Structure 1
Amino acid sequence: MDNLGELKKLIVKYIEQLDEEKAVNLTNKALNKGMDPITLVETVNMGMERVGKLYENKDYYIADLILSGLIFRKILELDKMKKYFLQNKDKGLGKVVLGTVKGDIHDIGKDIFKGMLEANGFEVIDLGVDVPKEEFVKAVKENKPDIVSMSAALTNTIETMRDVVKAFLKAGIRDKVKVIAGANHMNADISKYIGADGFSNEASTGTKICLKWMKEKQMRSNK
């Protein structure tokens, strides 16, 4: 039980089983035993992915999906997690404007991605859900982010995402930011149709893409 590897397995198991008390207690124990917050967030994400698959297979209901999101948020609120996020925020790795697009109120995937970005040192401006294209444009102009992340769970938001990118073009700010589209149904063809620079079906991959973009930007600025 004291082995971090075993703790990781149990954390994934109890998140999958939606056992909030055991999941939160074990994540706190893992932090106290030296597990770094990034590894912990990735571990929690593994459990969340299992919940998502159970939902897709109709073994879980929407209420179960919501509960898994609440467990994730409670883990992010642990003192050591919040302290780590605050410390990394000051590193100024990069800035991300994040939001679930107009017509979609799903926030679980968005919140997981936000947590992983913050754990890796990004400053995140979270616009919330059901965000119209005008709000994305306004946020980019006001915050001057490096990256914009559009999140969605519904397949009928593809055109909405495309409209956001078109709005960036019209406002003359498209070349100022990288755009990543996140959704379970996203693929390379849809991403290209939307006009995004990249896409992801899950939070850890999306985070790696954002880190890669920031590394490339740093290399360009050093030339």
Structure 2
Amino acid sequence: MAILDTIYQSVIDGNLNGATTGVNAALAEGIAPAEILNKGLIAAMTEVGRLFEEGEYFVPEMLISARAMQASVAILKPKLKDADVKPLGKIAIGTVKGDLHDIGKNLVAMMLEGTGFEIIDLGTDVPPEKFVDAVKTHDVGFIGMSALLTTTMPAMRTTIEALKAAGVRDRVKVMVGGAPITQEFAKEIGADLYAQDGPSAARNAKISTGANA
């Protein structure tokens, strides 16, 4: 459908007005919200992730595409709820205690939302107990932790230990990322998933749900 192609291209181009106008037009035409989400928005963000990984897009382009997607998803959310369309899963994401950086965390959150996940953004400087509370309160399936400072990396291990102590570790998959984080560190602290950037976070989380990447 032409209108879905317009939405798709608008998100790739970072055209927020074009994307949101397209979503409203598609809804007015009677196109199912799930179809708009999957064929317009999720497909577009998947392509944006590919362009980033191929070196054709950089963080600024990815951010404006993600914002166009996010504004469009906001329009669709009540419609998806009415249609009983379920997200792929719930992810509570935050920058760990002692770290106030949020650009990377925000981008990962937008990419995950663009893949079909429901995001609970805990913000920055998040103590372990707040991650634990998110699991208990929001029934999340994933915990996403970010750190930009090497000095705050140990907070990831502390948070995983807190999840174990609270008896909720086996209820969630833990994904970690950030500039100083490596696959080796993720394995060392007992995390389930490592992501070096937004596209890989979205892909790895989706694969871990059993959905096609």
Task: Please report the TM-score for the alignment, with normalisation by the length of structure 2.
Answer: 0.70
2 CA distance for matches of 1:208 and 1:144?
Answer: 21
1 CA distance for matches of 2:151 and 2:138?
Answer: 28
Change (3 A) 1:200 1:30: farther
| 1:38 correspondence with 2:42 | yes
Name the amino acid aligned to 1:116: M
Name the amino acid aligned to 1:129: T
Name the amino acid aligned to 1:121: G
Conservation of the 8 A alpha-carbon contact between 2:92 and 2:143 = yes
| 1:189 correspondence with 2:184 | yes
2 CA distance for matches of 1:186 and 1:24?
Answer: 32
Equivalent residue number for residue 92 of structure 1:
87
CA RMSD of aligned residues (A): 3.6
1 CA distance for matches of 2:162 and 2:187?
Answer: 16
| 1:75 correspondence with 2:79 | no
1:101 pairs, out of 96, 101, 124, with: 96
Equivalent residue number for residue 127 of structure 1:
122
2:110 pairs, out of 103, 109, 115, with: 115
Conservation of the 8 A alpha-carbon contact between 1:41 and 1:115 = no
| 1:168 correspondence with 2:158 | no
Highest relative contact order (Cα 8 Å, sep 6+), 1 or 2? Answer: 2
**What are the Cα deviations for residues 144-184 of structure 1, in whole angstroms up to 9, with x where unaligned?**
21111111222222101111001111111111111000213
After TM superposition, give the deviation of residue 84 of structure 1 in Å: 4.2
Change (3 A) 1:206 1:114: same
Unaligned runs of 5+ in 2: 27-35
Aligned pair count? 189
Name the amino acid aligned to 1:155: T
Conservation of the 8 A alpha-carbon contact between 2:70 and 2:110 = no
Change (3 A) 1:91 1:178: same
1 CA distance for matches of 2:138 and 2:69?
Answer: 24
Conservation of the 8 A alpha-carbon contact between 2:99 and 2:149 = yes
1 CA distance for matches of 2:76 and 2:126?
Answer: 29
Name the amino acid aligned to 2:147: A
2 CA distance for matches of 1:43 and 1:172?
Answer: 39
Equivalent residue number for residue 199 of structure 1:
194
Conservation of the 8 A alpha-carbon contact between 1:158 and 1:194 = no
| 1:159 correspondence with 2:154 | yes
Name the amino acid aligned to 1:133: P
Name the amino acid aligned to 1:83: I
**What are the Cα deviations for residues 21-68 of structure 1, in whole angstroms up to 9, with x where unaligned?**
xx546766997899721243345555698555xxxxxxxxxxxx7x98
Unaligned runs of 5+ in 1: 16-22, 53-64, 217-223
2 CA distance for matches of 1:30 and 1:184?
Answer: 36
Task: Please report the TM-score for the alignment, with normalisation by the length of structure 1.
Answer: 0.67
